[in-house]
Amino acid sequence: MMKSVALDLRETADLPEAVTPTAKQPRITLSGVPDDRAMLRAAAEMTRDLQKPKPWIYWTDCFISAAVGYAALIGAILAPSLGWGLLAGLVSVLALYRATLFIHEITHLKHSLLPGFRVAWNVLVGFPMMLPSFMYEGIHAIHHSRTRYGTAEDPEYLPLAHMKPHTLPVFLLVSVLMPVGLLLRFGILAPLSMLSPKLRRVLVAKYSGLQINPSYERRAPEGEFRRQWAWQEAGTSVWAIGVILAVATGLMPLHAFAIYMGVISAVAVINQVRTLVAHLWENEGEPLTVTAQFLDSVNVPPPSVLPYLWAPVGLRYHALHHLLPSLPYHALGEAHRRLTAALEGESAYHRANYPHLPGLVGRLAASTMGGARRG
């Protein structure tokens, strides 16, 4: 299991006022922010009893969500009216979105503590959604690296707050087209790459990871991960080829195919919106302290209710997750309550909490507009 970055207790000093998140201060100064030693120590010490995942929660939550999602998908396809179809489609999107986000937990889990979970998730969720876990495993660990977060080597980071305004709609458009790209990647390019080493190198380097940094190139897998990659890619390719053949032969009606692809697209769009507000995206490429990384990340804790839907499986505590990446998702709420009660008001911990999604999206949009005016 990944060692908690909260154990990096380096220097201590008062945090500058510039890091306080407010709507009127869309940009913050991350460079030179020292580590809040008291916060890091409290995060490590007060959550030691929360580190072990509870298998029954993982299995129940994930696969009941998947079952509801697939049942609702069938309901949307067979719905007698547009209204019922839209309602069933919405339920399917939200349920399958929750089930799919367990890919994030898989990247952090010590798999011996949940034997069989990764295999079951890939077969029951990863293959049908065309998102096998190898697309995130290995990629996400770099994002949590102490020295590579927010740098050019981070596959999950772009300085979006400093980019042009058109970046945001393009960022969302990519997610709309994601199911088409996945169908092509696994249904056509993966089989062809077995015949072309050159195509295989490109496919592995550029099209085998859930990344937003276009300059990042993935290395070929090695060891046990290579075996995991092989069977997951093969299974997803079989599924994608099956879908293509079913549509081509008329076995799957076009309207059923459209609804299936639409649900995957909607799941991708919601996740992309969530990604937009998971961080403030203020870093321009330099290594940051753990506290600066935390302040560039976002918690949307209670009393907000909607984050349970758009940031499920613990992702509403994304900043806390960057302090304690190995903490199971079901323990993040308790960890947040403990730290909120224990840490003084001037602690950096309280500066990463935000009330709702619209304010975060507005903050990011205003930052890009400000950058455009300055440019």
Question: Any idea which residue has 């937003």 for tokens?
Answer: 212
Residue 163 pLDDT level (bands cut at 50, 70, 90)? confident
Query: With contact defined as beta carbons under 8 Å apart, do 162 and 283 qualify?
Result: no
Buried/exposed code over 282-302 (b: 16+ C-beta within 10 A; e: otherwise): bbeeebbbbbbbbbbbbbbbe
Q: Is the pLDDT of residue 21 over 90?
A: no
Burial class (CB in 10 A: 0-12, 13-18, 19+), 171: middle
- Its sign, for the CA torsion 346, 347, 352, 355, is negative
pLDDT digits (tens, 9 = 90+) for 293-330: 999 999 999 988 899 999 999 999 999 999 999 999 99
Question: Any idea which residue has 């890009």 for tokens?
Answer: 368
The pLDDT score that the predictor gives to residue 371 is 53
pLDDT digits (tens, 9 = 90+) for 97-130: 999 999 999 999 999 999 999 999 999 999 999 9
- Its sign, for the CA torsion 337, 342, 348, 354, is positive
CA distance 286 to 152: 9
- Using omega within 30 degrees of 0 as the cis cutoff, is the peptide bond preceding 128 cis? no
DSSP string of 111-148? Answer: GGGSTTHHHHHIIIIIHHHT--GGGTTTHHHHHT-TTT
pLDDT digits (tens, 9 = 90+) for 240-291: 999 999 999 999 999 999 999 999 999 999 999 999 999 988 888 888 999 9
Q: Indicate the residue type of 304.
A: S
Question: Any idea which residue has 């507000």 for tokens?
Answer: 277
Window from 85-89, 235-239, 241-245, 365-369 with minimum mean pLDDT: 365-369
pTM: predicted TM-score of the whole model, two decimal places: 0.89
Phi, psi of 354 (to 5 degrees): -130, 155
